[in-house]
Structure 1
Amino acid sequence: MLQTAMVAVRDRQRLQEIVTVLLRHGLGDIADRLALRQWLSGSQAGGVHPAAEAATPPQRWRMALEQLGPTFVKLGQMLATRADLLPPEWTRELERLHAGVTPVPWDEIEPQVEEDLGAPAATVFPGFVAEPIAAASMAQVYRAALPDGRAVVLKVRRPGLRRRIDADLRLLDQLVAMASERWPGLGRYRPRDVMANLAAALREELDFTQEGRNAEAIAAEMAQRGDVWIPAIHWAWTSERLLVMDFVEGAAPGDAAALAAIGADGPRLARHGAEAFLQMVLEGGVFHADPHPGNLFALSDGRVAFIDFGMVGRLSPRRRQQLLSLLAAIVRGDADALSAVMLEVSEGGTPDLPALAAASERFVARHAGGVHDLVQALDDFMAMVRDAQLFLPADLALLFKAIATADGMLRRLDPAIDLVATVAPPVRREMLARYSAEEIGRRGKAAAAQLYDVAGEVPQVLRLVLHHLKQGKVQAELEVKHLDRVSGAMERAATRLAIAIVAAAFILGLAPRLLTLGPAWYGVPVFGLLGLVLAVGSLVVLLWSFRRRR
């Protein structure tokens, strides 16, 4: 592909790195199918790493993605949410993805921080410490203090990261296009949609001002809760590459000693964390999409703190209604409602309706005693979607993965927590609100307003249609698959028909003359006999062509 060649010239070094990693992890067949070895010299190829030789295919891909860096780690993390597309052994392995990184030395990152602040960090923040307290693939975090003594942290984007990610996205876009041509079956996995979601998620995470806005949106939603705390963003020093926010002094859910030191009540904290997460999902529509133990802390005053809002999910009002219907169908064990919701939310596929109904019945039978494990119920639901070859929208897939992550984190605080019991009251409350007289009246007014607007346009549309009918200008557009084949067949048929007509006219016109001209054989004119033989032969050929086409 010419476009691929042009991209590769611009990003040749990065492409060579990608191909080398693929070969190193035993994925040479992929490189060969995509004709990528041509970009390597003989010395670059290398052999397969011993760890990859003994690994399973999911493990090889996980190790390769980790080595390729943040763009590919993010791609793997997104695919880990797609239990509706990938089998469990793949999603489980991709869930283990992490980008092991070495911190960037302060003297390399200092010029960028000074450029963003307009002055040295130690001048702006008297309590600044140049040793990072955390380092990830996208950013490093430093302790500091404001002039008034308030403890804050500086989250700094790694230098040159945007340029590298942009190059990765360009290359991935071309590789996905090439793979889709060579493997038509990839269409089932909607690779173009996955790439679009990846690019949007990465570009949002790269902009720390967006993370600040996410944090403030969730803080506004949690404002009435006295048991949840969201760190404040300090916008005076925040920019695209630098985020300054309050420092959180608390205990991580997995640190039993720290929890005991502050006298934390694990079950109470777990309940508050679960309720807050459900409120984000069902009421606000903006939720923390990566609630792992490192992003939640127990505070000494009994509150729960959420941090790191670079990765959030968003649910439209319509999607929240669909989610309520799904959760209600799962909790009630309503197979018909479950099938209906699956069809409503899916974004592709042509399911076998009787098979889908049977799968819903099996789901209900499996959970006949009541849903006791919400995560397991959602896993079973995703398996149903996968078996039916449907395609869930990305926002729901991300939510289900976030619920599973939150469940694991909350169980560290309270191993006996029951998410079903926690989710039932807000679902019941939201369902009652959905069908309340006030809500029905509001939706009725909105529908009436839309009908009123449409009614105002009807006379004009009718006049336009009648005008076109009078002028004979009504057009219809039809899409016919394989139209080139149809037109070719019609052209061949017309040619045969024309030849047949000309031949018939020729025979009919000359037959009377041929019967009276030329020599005779046993009293039969030779020209007439030859004409008869040609006519019979032509008829046989014509009949044979019809038979062959059938």
Structure 2
Amino acid sequence: MFSIQKIGVIGRTYRHLNRYRQIIAVFVKYGLGDLIDRLNIDQYIEVGMQMISRKRRERVDKFTTAERIRIAFEELGPTFIKFGQILSTRPGLLPVDYIDELSKLQDNVPPYPFSGVKAIFTSELGVPPEELFSSFNEHPLASASIGQVHKAILKNGDYVAVKVQRPGIKKIIEVDLEIMLHIATLMERNIEEISFHKPVKIVEEFARTLENEIDYIREAANMERFSRQFIDDPNIYIPKVYPETSTSRVLTMEYIDGIKVSQSSILEKHNEDKKIIVERGANLLLKQIFENGFFHADPHPGNIFVLPDNVICFLDYGMVGSIDRTTRENFVDLIDSVVNEDASTAAHVLLQLTNWENEPDIKYLKRDLEDLIGQHLYKTLENIDISRIIQQVFELSYRHHLRIPPDIFFMIKVFGTLESIASSLYPEFDMILQTKPFIKKIKLSRYNPHRITKDIIRFISDLNFFAYQFPKDILDITRMIKKHTFSIKFEHQGLETMLIKHDQISNRISFSIIIAALLIGSALIVISKTPPLVYGISMIGIVGFIAAAFMGIWLLVAILRKGRL
């Protein structure tokens, strides 16, 4: 569990000051200083941050703003790289060129020394790796920002892959998340065009995703859950987990010797059937989404292996998605209504799938959906890019101030990845045809007698609870009114920004008064020739003038940095 605290005024506690300075310096270096200025960040960082010198920008003019953000995220390390990767899966949240650029972020970093691996093992399992394994390769198979994977052999002869977390990575992520949460709070407060997207909520959702990914016990539990769900399916293989040598920072699993789906030429050499591979992979992912409601949320080509007889094996279960039955049914209705050119149904389903504060004008939403569907009318059914259409639908939703839940973004990502893999291995793959049986099954399940009976029982139970609870709630409210403890909370949005400005003005006036007092007092001391004297001039007065000069320059620099007097 991450220990993330909301940051107040950093200058008073010096929490994470150096890292905050580094983040701001990187953004300024890559020409993103205007964004920092709009955050009014100096009100929180105080003197320490006001003294940051604006480093001379590197030659970034040749890069677009999107490229500069990507480069800045890469320089800032694992937390920002992961955050950029998550943002790249959210159509509508950012312009297309930003999403395309952030999708290029790579989580490849140099491996850390084996001494760090031994330290983690000793800390987590009480003994170094050589006491648990008959062989442990010191050189990792793969290295990423959160951890690295080593090949090893257990005492019983089993070949395993051991994922070991980077030393200190949890603390690094916690610090970055606290700073990101603070920056998101300032964005929500000071930048109107960003506040609608609820950046604080986005960072909190990202923190939960990262927390799941960094907890190897949770990843092992995900693998066990997938294994149970596909126990009778011979087309998929889930690696075995070895719990006796696994902890929250060390994960030991069965070593998989297969071919990545990205290695098309090697698949051809081994005479693997690409058509079967794509269809099986698609069927397994669609089954995870539409039947199980629990799916692998990061099925990129490097995480999917092909074993003998075209058996599919997924790796890296740290990022998973979960959707309930109602969401699955609504998602199916959305696909069905778009494919059948029913904009009215699509609009109503979209409202059920998304979160919103003020219900949008359904007439304009329907009109925009009709325009979007019309762009694809000329295509035959088998040529429709279903993932692209769904992505465009959710891009459109942002224009109507509809926010999409994170697990739906993961679903869109899975569809996009699936079509990308299919286009490289088997371009003739028909996504619509593959999806149809699942859509049909979900639609028919609504009329299953057992399902209808369960829904009726649930409705009666909810009605019974309401009938029982409602009078109690009314009685509680009445008692609060009688005791004069009933209150209604109002939120005045934008008031805090005004208070900050007022505080800023007050500070400058106070500073100016102190400077004026120093000047007048020093002048009186010099005139009265208060000792000690040097060449007949009072040194106390001179010190007062120097202090006033420094404070005056400091105040002037602070005002000029804000761009207004």
- The answer to whether TM tops 0.5 is yes
- Residue 24 (structure 1) aligned to one of 12, 23, 29: 29
Tell me which residue corresponds to 2:424: 412
Residue 267 of structure 1: how far off its partner (Å): 0.8
**CA RMSD, 1 decimal:** 2.9
Whether contact under 8 Å (1:65, 1:72) holds in the other structure is yes
Tell me which residue corresponds to 2:463: 451
Find the aligned partners of 2:57 and 2:311 in 1 and give their Cα distance: 50
- Residue 16 (structure 2) aligned to one of 11, 16, 23: 11
Residue 302 of structure 1: how far off its partner (Å): 1.8
SS in 1 for 2:203: helix
- Residue 260 (structure 2) aligned to one of 252, 257, 263: 252
Kindly indicate whether residue 462 of structure 2 is the aligned counterpart of residue 423 of structure 1: no
Residue 482 of structure 1: how far off its partner (Å): 7.2
TM-score, scaled to structure 2: 0.79
Q: Which has the higher Rg, Structure 1 or Structure 2?
A: 1
Find the aligned partners of 2:13 and 2:256 in 1 and give their Cα distance: 44
- Following superposition of structure 1 onto structure 2, how do residues 507-526 of structure 1 map, counting pairs within 5 Å? none
- Residue 268 (structure 1) aligned to one of 272, 276, 282: 276
SS in 2 for 1:53: coil
Residue 249 of structure 1: how far off its partner (Å): 0.8
- Following superposition of structure 1 onto structure 2, how do residues 295-306 of structure 1 map, counting pairs within 5 Å? 295-306=303-314
Find the aligned partners of 1:134 and 1:7 in 2 and give their Cα distance: 42
Tell me which residue corresponds to 1:314: 322
SS in 2 for 1:249: coil
Find the aligned partners of 1:428 and 1:159 in 2 and give their Cα distance: 49
Mean Cα displacement is larger for which, 67-76 or 444-453? 444-453
Find the aligned partners of 1:341 and 1:235 in 2 and give their Cα distance: 43
- Following superposition of structure 1 onto structure 2, how do residues 26-425 of structure 1 map, counting pairs within 5 Å? 26-34=31-39, 35=41, 39=48, 45-50=54-59, 52-350=60-358, 351-368=360-377, 369=379, 371=381, 372-425=384-437
Find the aligned partners of 1:137 and 1:421 in 2 and give their Cα distance: 39
- Spell out, residue by residue over 1:163-216, the C-alpha distance to the aligned partner (whole angstroms, 9 max, x if none): 111111111122222232321332211111101101111111111101111111
Residue 370 of structure 1: how far off its partner (Å): 5.2
- Spell out, residue by residue over 1:229-275, the C-alpha distance to the aligned partner (whole angstroms, 9 max, x if none): 11111101110110000111111112133212332111101100001
Tell me which amino acid in the other structure corresponds to 2:426. D
- Spell out, residue by residue over 1:355-389, the C-alpha distance to the aligned partner (whole angstroms, 9 max, x if none): 11111222332333555211221122123212223
Tell me which residue corresponds to 1:509: none
Mean Cα displacement is larger for which, 363-372 or 53-62? 363-372
- Following superposition of structure 1 onto structure 2, how do residues 521-532 of structure 1 map, counting pairs within 5 Å? none
Mean Cα displacement is larger for which, 11-20 or 289-298? 11-20
Cα 1:363–1:48 change in 2 (3 A) is same
Tell me which amino acid in the other structure corresponds to 1:354. K
Find the aligned partners of 2:247 and 2:297 in 1 and give their Cα distance: 22
Tell me which amino acid in the other structure corresponds to 2:392. D
Cα 1:5–1:460 change in 2 (3 A) is closer
Percentage identity across aligned positions?
A: 27
Find the aligned partners of 1:280 and 1:243 in 2 and give their Cα distance: 23
SS in 1 for 2:136: coil
SS in 1 for 2:310: coil
Find the aligned partners of 2:127 and 2:477 in 1 and give their Cα distance: 71
Residue 127 of structure 1: how far off its partner (Å): 2.2
Whether contact under 8 Å (2:235, 2:280) holds in the other structure is yes
Whether contact under 8 Å (2:38, 2:191) holds in the other structure is no
Whether contact under 8 Å (1:347, 1:392) holds in the other structure is yes
Find the aligned partners of 2:104 and 2:37 in 1 and give their Cα distance: 27
Cα 1:145–1:391 change in 2 (3 A) is same
Whether contact under 8 Å (1:230, 1:306) holds in the other structure is yes
Cα 1:472–1:14 change in 2 (3 A) is closer
Residue 428 of structure 1: how far off its partner (Å): 0.6
Tell me which residue corresponds to 2:518: none
Find the aligned partners of 2:27 and 2:141 in 1 and give their Cα distance: 33
Residue 353 of structure 1: how far off its partner (Å): 2.0
Whether contact under 8 Å (2:331, 2:353) holds in the other structure is no
Find the aligned partners of 2:338 and 2:239 in 1 and give their Cα distance: 35
Residue 218 of structure 1: how far off its partner (Å): 1.6
Residue 402 of structure 1: how far off its partner (Å): 2.3
Whether contact under 8 Å (2:306, 2:313) holds in the other structure is yes
SS in 2 for 1:154: strand
Tell me which amino acid in the other structure corresponds to 2:413. K
Whether contact under 8 Å (1:288, 1:312) holds in the other structure is yes
- Spell out, residue by residue over 1:465-500, the C-alpha distance to the aligned partner (whole angstroms, 9 max, x if none): 9998xx9999997777879x9xxxxxxxxxxxxxxx
Whether contact under 8 Å (1:347, 1:390) holds in the other structure is yes
Whether contact under 8 Å (2:25, 2:55) holds in the other structure is yes
Tell me which residue corresponds to 1:535: none
Mean Cα displacement is larger for which, 24-33 or 152-161? 24-33
Tell me which amino acid in the other structure corresponds to 2:61. E
Find the aligned partners of 2:50 and 2:244 in 1 and give their Cα distance: 50
Whether contact under 8 Å (1:270, 1:411) holds in the other structure is no
Find the aligned partners of 2:489 and 2:307 in 1 and give their Cα distance: 63
Whether contact under 8 Å (2:152, 2:159) holds in the other structure is yes
Whether contact under 8 Å (2:124, 2:250) holds in the other structure is yes
Mean Cα displacement is larger for which, 345-354 or 84-93? 345-354
Q: Is there any run of 5+ residues in structure 2 with no aligned partner, and where?
A: 1-5, 496-565
SS in 2 for 1:126: strand
Find the aligned partners of 2:398 and 2:407 in 1 and give their Cα distance: 16
Tell me which residue corresponds to 1:490: none
SS in 2 for 1:308: coil
Mean Cα displacement is larger for which, 285-294 or 6-15? 6-15
TM-score, scaled to structure 1: 0.81
Whether contact under 8 Å (1:15, 1:39) holds in the other structure is no
Count of residues in correspondence between the two structures: 481
Residue 43 of structure 1: how far off its partner (Å): 8.9
Tell me which amino acid in the other structure corresponds to 2:64. T
Cα 1:480–1:129 change in 2 (3 A) is closer
Whether contact under 8 Å (1:291, 1:409) holds in the other structure is no
Cα 1:301–1:388 change in 2 (3 A) is same
Kindly indicate whether residue 447 of structure 2 is the aligned counterpart of residue 439 of structure 1: no
Tell me which amino acid in the other structure corresponds to 1:46. K
